Structure 1
Amino acid sequence: MDDSQASSHGPVTHEFTLSPMETSSSDIILSATHDNEFVHISMQPSQNEIRSPCDICCVVDTSGSMSDSAEIQNDNNEHYGLSQLDLVKHALKTIINSLQDQDRL
């Protein structure tokens, strides 16, 4: 569907059936898995290739609402005691640890 076919009255919905998959080429490894609510798509670059440097800018909301509980619950309805800001900090640390020498944050 191109942009001329998209409805301006709401989201465009496309129904499809997913099955676990994995494919690879010389450039990337792509895998997809799903459950009833989410689709997880993962791409990993080839280990033999040198990637281009990247510049990353992170903007973090530090307002009072970020101290609210992250509402992460397991099947037993247990809370983990993490705030929304705790999750953002963890995500930023993950980004930092994945940077290479030529990257800029």
Structure 2
Amino acid sequence: MQVVSGRLDQPNVHFEAPPLGQLEADLDAFITWFNQPPQGLDWLVRAGITHLLLITLHPFDDGNGRVTRAVTDRALAQAERQCPVLFLERGHHGAPPRLLRSS
């Protein structure tokens, strides 16, 4: 998946998601990191890294921003020992089991 602008004969690629073949391994590594963050990692840095890693993996055709914000909210809520508030939109199926295991 690419985010591209410009002419068709001179495209300007702004972002390119990792290849599908490495996505599952990258998601597994992300989930392991999320569930077992390094000791002493600042909670705000953890939330920022969470957001950056998951939005860069870009695992879905649609909804990457929503899922990334929800997981980032989870990281922030864990730091405050609170339950995150999730707003689910009608018509969206939610995260796949692999992402749900991270909670």
After TM superposition, the score normalised by the length of structure 1 is 0.24
After TM superposition, the score normalised by the length of structure 2 is 0.24
Q: Which has the larger radius of gyration?
A: 1
Higher relative contact order (CA closer than 8 Å, sequence separation 6+): 2
Greater percentage in helix: 2
